[in-house]
Amino acid sequence: MDQELNTPAPEEQFRESESPEITTESENLSEYPDHSSKSLKEITQLFQDLLDRGDQQEMYKYAEGIKASFYKALKREKIAAGFQVVQELAASSGETEEEAESQVSVNPFAELERGFKELYQRYKILRSSFIQNLEKQKEENLKIKSEILEELKELLEKQEDIQQTFPAFRELQNRWKSVGPVPQSRNKDIWETYQYLIERFYDYVKINNELRDLDLKKNLEMKIELCEKAEMLIDEPNIIQAFKKLQKLHEEWRELGPVSKEMREEIWERFKLATSKINKKQQDYFEGQKDEQKQNFEKKRELCEKIEAIIESAKSDRSDWNVMTKDVENLQAEWKGIGFATKKENQRVYDRFRAACDIFYNTKRDHYTQFKGVMHENLEKKIALCEQAEALKDSQDWKRTTDQLINLQKKWKEIGPVARKQSDSIWKRFRAACDEFFEKKSKHFSSVDENYEQNLTKKLEIIQEINEYKLDPKTIENTEALKDFQSRWTEVGFVPLKDKERIQAAYRHALESKFGDIRNPEQENRINRYKKHIKEVQSSGKGDRVIRAEREKLVQRFRQMEADIAVWENNIGFFAKSKNADTLLADIEKKIIMAKEELSQLEEKIKLIDSQNGQI
């Protein structure tokens, strides 16, 4: 019944027992998490939580990165607190850094650093204990596996019935699988001895063909299952996880026994093909990561150049520090959204960016320190203006003092800002002195209000007359009537300020309604003369260029008059604190009326030029 098994060829034994070449680069390419935004206390608490969880693999993976982040943060915060001179003092005096710190000032970071060192020492003790226990366990595993090998050798030397030998052989295989790893230096030798004895058992022990076929079939089924699992990993989106799972599949493959001779090559090629595809994806992944890291480096380098350009522009006297600060904050936020650069360049480009940020904020601090001095000078100038205004507030030389106060107000506007906490009080002091004078002047001229009310009545009567006037068939009579109305209106003085706009609008509406088609002879003559002037210029060789230049002058004059009117009207609002303040500003009112008349003439000339040249 028993039949001697055929011994596999040496190369077949090698293929059956060896594992495909597996890349292990991924275990060393993971980067530490970025803790650069965390404080010393946050990093210390992070380390404390890591130790409390007690996960040795997690501690081993992150402990050194947390330590590096802590001392970078410590150095950064020491520099920010003014402790960067400690190492320089220590180097120049030959003292230790601790002695130098004690001479500079009390070190506020000593307690935090001491606490972190205690945590790190605790980690080293835990790690050392874990390694010792692990090595001890590996030695124990080596002892157990060596005993199993001896039992296998004894089993091979026995000539017992297969019904007793085969179960014992299976029991030894199961015991071998249940034992953990052995020291790395002995791993290869002991595994090869185990494989050799397994092969000898199948090759030299006389075993029932049915049991052997069953065992080979079972091994084949399990290896097919491993192939299927490996093939499923090809589509795994997380290539790192796929690679780790593949390593476990290879460990299982190595522990399985052989399959039938005719299936050995086929099943092995299938498993090896899946392994090769996963390895290729892993290599492509890391190549892609390298490209991405290069792109990240370029992005970070561009951000460095942008913030360095901002620093350069900060040297300008017209720099807007609020805008620049916002730009720097946006660059910092953009930096956080960019992944790691290449391992070689990541720290260097970070140091460059961090240094640029420090230079910007140091420059900003220096600017505001200097700006405080300028604001103090501005305060002194405004105090001097307050004293001058207070010296004039009791004057009764109304015209001269008014001009002086207006001049002081112009100087006030030319002076730059003062500190916010003093700005309101110094302005109220200056305004109070000006208001006191103008209120006294208003009371002095209060009797003028009665004349303004009378003027209002007269102007309302003139508007009524215009509305009731019946046009004469003769144009000349209507023109004379228009000139008479205009002359009488001009002879009437000012009206109350609150009625000025309303009465003026009613007057213009009455004239437009009644005499809209009738042009003042003087106005008509002025327009005709200007038309003639335009035609003469156009007929010359340089007509277009001269007209364009003249139009530009008219536009500039128009804009200047608009600006002057806005200033005068603003001054009226500035002094209008009492209800009778309008009586004090007759001269400004006259300027505004004359300016608006000139504004109308300028507009008419510009429109005339545009119509002659076909412009809009």
Q: Cβ(516)–Cβ(510) under 8 Å?
A: no
pLDDT mean for each 10 residues of the chain (616 residues) = 34 36 39 73 87 85 87 83 57 55 61 87 88 87 89 76 73 86 87 85 61 80 89 84 86 83 86 88 77 80 84 70 84 83 78 86 77 79 87 83 87 81 84 86 66 83 86 74 80 79 83 68 66 70 72 83 76 52 58 74 78 54
192 and 235 assigned to the same domain: no
603 and 480 assigned to the same domain: yes
The pLDDT of residue 572? 60
Q: Cβ(241)–Cβ(282) under 8 Å?
A: no
Total domains in the chain come to: 4
In a domain, 407, yes or no: yes
Q: Cβ(40)–Cβ(112) under 8 Å?
A: yes
Cα separation, 205 vs 298, whole angstroms: 67
CA distances to 560, 574, 602 from 554, rounded to whole Å, are 10, 30, 6
Q: Give the tokens for residue 352.
A: 């460059």
The pLDDT of residue 326? 86
Per-residue exposure over 522-544, b if at least 16 CB sit within 10 Å of its own CB, e if not: eeeeebeeeeeebeebeeeeeee
Q: Which of 177, 205, 233 is the last residue of a domain?
A: 205
Q: What sign for the dihedral angle of Cα 249, 254, 257, 262?
A: positive
327 and 392 assigned to the same domain: no
In a domain, 349, yes or no: no
Q: Cβ(265)–Cβ(229) under 8 Å?
A: no
475 and 590 assigned to the same domain: yes
249 and 318 assigned to the same domain: yes
Q: Which of 160, 175, 205 is the last residue of a domain?
A: 205
34 and 164 assigned to the same domain: yes
In a domain, 459, yes or no: no
DSSP string covering 266-286, please?
Answer: HHHHHHHHHHHHHHHHHHHHH
The pLDDT of residue 94? 58
Which residue's entry shows tokens 């124990």?
140
Residue 521: phi, psi to the nearest 5?
Answer: -55, -45
33 and 127 assigned to the same domain: yes
85 and 184 assigned to the same domain: yes
183 and 258 assigned to the same domain: no
In a domain, 413, yes or no: yes
| pLDDT tens readout for residues 386-396 | 988 888 888 88
Cα separation, 514 vs 501, whole angstroms: 20
Q: Cβ(38)–Cβ(46) under 8 Å?
A: yes
Coil, strand or helix: which one is 453? helix
Q: Give the tokens for residue 453.
A: 């009310």
Spatial neighbors of 538 by CB under 8 A, at least 6 apart, are 544, 547, 612
512 and 502 assigned to the same domain: yes
What residues make up the domain containing 574? 468-612
In a domain, 519, yes or no: yes
In a domain, 483, yes or no: yes
* Confidence (pTM): 0.33
In a domain, 541, yes or no: yes
Residue 2: phi, psi to the nearest 5?
Answer: -70, 145
CA distances to 137, 379, 546 from 386, rounded to whole Å, are 90, 10, 51
284 and 255 assigned to the same domain: yes
486 and 504 assigned to the same domain: yes
In a domain, 192, yes or no: yes
| pLDDT tens readout for residues 439-472 | 887 776 665 556 778 888 888 988 888 888 888 7
Q: Which of 205, 227, 261 is the last residue of a domain?
A: 205
Which residue's entry shows tokens 């157990």?
144
